Amino acid sequence: MIYQRVLLKLSGEALMGNLGYGIDPKVVADIAQDIAQVVQEKVEVAIVVGGGNIFRGVKASAAGMDRATADYVGMIATVMNAMTLQDALERINIPTRVQTAIAMQEVAEPYIRRRAIRHLELGRVVIFGAGSGNPFFTTDTTAALRAAEIDAQVIFKATKVDGVYDSDPVKNPDARLYKSLNYNHVLTEDLRVMDGTAIALCKENNIPIVVFNLAERGNIIRAIKGESIGTIIGGSYDVN
């Protein structure tokens, strides 16, 4: 295996499949099976999950809701997704711990960096819920922060498209897929892979980001094996 410890960033939308809202149990079960393949290869896996399938703080704020309050509600939504994913993993005998940045001791552990690392060393999947615990920060930024804290070698960002394009592939059939990019290109061209804070954190800590299509079964294990799928940002490709 090319990586020993990885962080997987899952959007909340990835968990709802073709539903318009909520969680599709079959999709979650499929994701759990793919993650199980990775764990069975003795790769340590941490996950940050979003909450956009249940509640989007930015959208609610734009509609008039207090931004900080909206962001806290969104953080709670990520915990619901984290617990759902934990259940799917443990039903196939993958030991899993949920750690949250907002205390919810009845259902999850508090986020403690050393404890998270110890869980990973013992072969447990660790799912980070409740974002960073602070409003005004995205779960992409949380992914970059947690990856740096636990010394992850790479961030895998699972999306609905095959990687990073120079324009929206849904609107432009001639959009070009990038195979590799450096951090500065992503920032200056405003490619919106992750928010600017997340990209800056990855650049500062030299954490590469692999963006790939989650919908294709087996892509998670292919990416971790180092196969050429999606787009890789930074790492040895960062020439600036």
Residues comprising the binding site? 9-12, 51-52, 56, 71, 132-139, 159, 165, 168
Give how far the C-alpha of residue 19 lies from the chain's centroid of Cα atoms, to the nearest Å: 20
Joined together, the tokens standing for residue 176 give 């070009």
One-character DSSP codes across 145-199: HHHHHTT-SEEEEEESSSSEESS-TTT-TTPPEESEE-HHHHHHTT--SS-HHHH
12, 78 Cβ separation under 8 angstroms: yes
For helices 139-149 and 113-121, the axis angle rounded to 10 degrees is 70
74, 131 Cβ separation under 8 angstroms: yes
219, 229 Cβ separation under 8 angstroms: yes
- Of 109, 107, 129, 132, give the one whose Cα is nearest residue 119: 109
Secondary structure of residue 90 in the 3-state scheme: helix
Please give the torsion angle defined by the CA atoms of residues 226, 42, 144 and 53, in that order, rounded to the nearest 10 degrees: 90
Please report, in range form, the residues annotated as the binding site for ATP: 9-12, 52, 56, 159, 165, 168
Please report, in range form, the residues annotated as the binding site for UMP: 51, 71, 132-139
- Of 154, 138, 151, 175, give the one whose Cα is nearest residue 57: 138
